């Protein structure tokens, strides 16, 4: 049989190769398909990313850090969060933000619910995606990479001093509790996390003014008023929908079951004022105050 006899009639597909016969290589054009969602998505409009950045810094940076790598209140590193890495358009981030995480993984603090509009959460998610897109291979930046100090020190120290005098001086003093506060932080980013979170470091701890051993800041306290008996006040050890536990001054631990009829519970958290401030804190004010506090060395 000649070669001409083996050629199929014009217009018909070639006959399949015999079983076991070597197959011709399949031509591949272009790069292989991406394997990670952050490689598949397209970045949002710059205005959306900028809005998401502002919303993140006002609502989330105290816990998760100005650079998303974890903040003074112990929130996890979002650049290594599997949920953030797998999210494409806010579909995985939105329910977590709106519902919170009352029972987080071991070692992480509970996350409160933020009843934010879906479009705002999506803008925050798009900001995450933009950071991941510039953070290196597969969205995982080098461990030692830090935000340069000049990216945090972008505020006006004089304007920050005016804001501090108007909003903060009733509770804080630059000659008292905030004396040499800049010496407690290694860089402005850490200082910004510190004051926005209300001065509570990871696990409620912070470095002292000389940078030595860490000391516990003002603890969260609680007053428990039983249906009968005297009120008890102490350091809050645990609270949920079912029980409240406190440590009395002598070290005794007391636990009460919570029911509809009592006891009455009043929680006193020194950081509450800062949490309320964060919801109204403009980005320029945050940077201005940070620039001012950085001068207090």
Asked if residue 71 belongs to a domain, the reply is yes
Q: What is the chain's length?
A: 297
Q: Are residues 74 and 206 in the same domain?
A: no
Distance CA 78, CA 132 (A): 10
- In the β-sheet with 253-257, what is the strand arrangement from edge to edge? 253-257, 243-247, 232-239, 221-225, 264-268
Q: Are residues 168 and 134 in the same domain?
A: no
**Among 115, 130, 145, which residue terminates a domain?**
145
* pLDDT at residue 150, as a whole number: 52
Q: Please report, for the domain that includes residue 83, its CATH number.
A: 1.10.760.10
* pLDDT at residue 79, as a whole number: 79
* pLDDT at residue 5, as a whole number: 47
**Domain count of the fold of the chain:** 3
Asked if residue 181 belongs to a domain, the reply is yes
At 254, list the tokens: 């007391």
3-state secondary structure the chain: CCHHHHCCCCCCCCCCCCCCCCCCCCCCCCCCCCCCHHHHCCCCCHHHHHHHHHHHHHHCHHHHCCCCCCCCCCCCCHHHCHHHHHCCCCCCHHHHHHHCECCCCCCCCCECCCCCCHHHHHHHHHHHHHHHHCCCHHHCCCCCCCCCHHHHCCCCHHHHHHHHHHHCCCCCCCCCCCCCHHHHCCCHHHHHHHHHCCCCCHHHEEECCCCCCEEECCCCEEEEECCCCCCEEEEEEEECCCEEEEECCCCCEEEEECECCECEEEEECCCHHHHHHHCCCCHHHHHHHHHHHCCCC
Q: Are residues 166 and 179 in the same domain?
A: yes
Tell me which residue range forms the domain holding 163. 150-217+273-293
Q: Are residues 96 and 160 in the same domain?
A: no
Q: Are residues 212 and 236 in the same domain?
A: no
pLDDT tens-place values along the chain, 297 residues long: 444 444 555 555 555 555 555 555 444 444 444 444 444 567 888 889 988 998 898 888 878 888 888 776 677 888 778 888 888 888 999 999 998 888 776 666 788 888 889 999 999 999 998 888 775 434 444 444 445 555 557 789 999 999 999 999 988 899 998 899 988 877 787 787 778 767 644 333 333 333 333 334 568 899 999 988 899 999 999 988 899 999 999 999 999 999 988 899 999 887 777 777 776 777 788 888 989 999 998
**Among 100, 129, 145, which residue terminates a domain?**
145
Q: Are residues 138 and 168 in the same domain?
A: no
Asked if residue 115 belongs to a domain, the reply is yes
* Among 203, 258, 263, residue whose Cα is nearest residue 233: 263
Q: Please report, for the domain that includes residue 188, its CATH number.
A: 1.10.760
Q: With beta carbons less than 8 A apart as the criterion, state whether 289 and 277 touch.
A: no
Q: Are residues 277 and 264 in the same domain?
A: no
Asked if residue 246 belongs to a domain, the reply is yes
Q: With beta carbons less than 8 A apart as the criterion, state whether 189 and 67 touch.
A: yes
Distance CA 141, CA 63 (A): 20
* pLDDT at residue 137, as a whole number: 36
Asked if residue 189 belongs to a domain, the reply is yes
Whether omega for the bond prior to residue 263 falls within 30 degrees of 0, making it cis, is: yes
Could you tell me the sign of the dihedral formed by the alpha carbons of 32, 38, 40, 44, in that order? negative
**Among 126, 145, 164, which residue terminates a domain?**
145
């Amino acid at each position: 049989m000649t070669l001409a006899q083996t050629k199929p009639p014009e217009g018909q597909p070639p006959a399949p190769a015999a079983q076991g016969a070597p197959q011709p290589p399949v031509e591949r054009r272009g790069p292989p398909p991406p394997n990670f969602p952050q490689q598949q998505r397209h970045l949002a409009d710059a205005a959306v990313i900028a809005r998401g950045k502002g919303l993140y810094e006002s609502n989330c940076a105290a816990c998760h850090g100005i650079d998303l790598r974890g903040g003074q209140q112990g929130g996890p590193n979002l650049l290594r969060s599997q949920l953030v890495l797998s999210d494409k358009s806010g579909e995985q981030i939105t329910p977590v933000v709106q519902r919170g995480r009352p029972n987080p993984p071991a070692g992480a603090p509970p996350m409160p619910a933020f009843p934010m509009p879906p479009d705002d959460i999506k803008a925050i998610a798009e900001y995450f995606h933009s950071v991941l897109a510039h953070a290196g291979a597969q969205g995982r930046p080098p461990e030692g990479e830090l935000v340069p100090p000049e990216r945090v020190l972008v505020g006006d120290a004089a304007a920050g001093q005016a804001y501090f005098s108007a909003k903060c001086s009733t509770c804080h003093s630059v000659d008292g509790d905030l004396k040499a506060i800049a010496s407690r932080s290694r860089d402005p980013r850490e200082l910004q996390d510190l004051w926005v979170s209300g001065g509570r470091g990871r696990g409620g701890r912070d470095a002292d003014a000389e940078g030595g051993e860490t000391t516990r800041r003002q603890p969260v306290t609680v007053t428990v008023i039983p249906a009968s008996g005297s009120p008890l006040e102490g350091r809050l050890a645990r609270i949920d929908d079912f029980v409240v536990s406190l440590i009395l001054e002598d070290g005794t631990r007391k636990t009460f079951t919570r029911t509809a009829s009592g006891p009455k519970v009043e929680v006193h958290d020194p950081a509450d004022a800062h949490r309320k401030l964060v919801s109204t804190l403009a980005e320029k004010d945050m940077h201005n105050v940070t620039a001012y506090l950085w001068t207090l060395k």
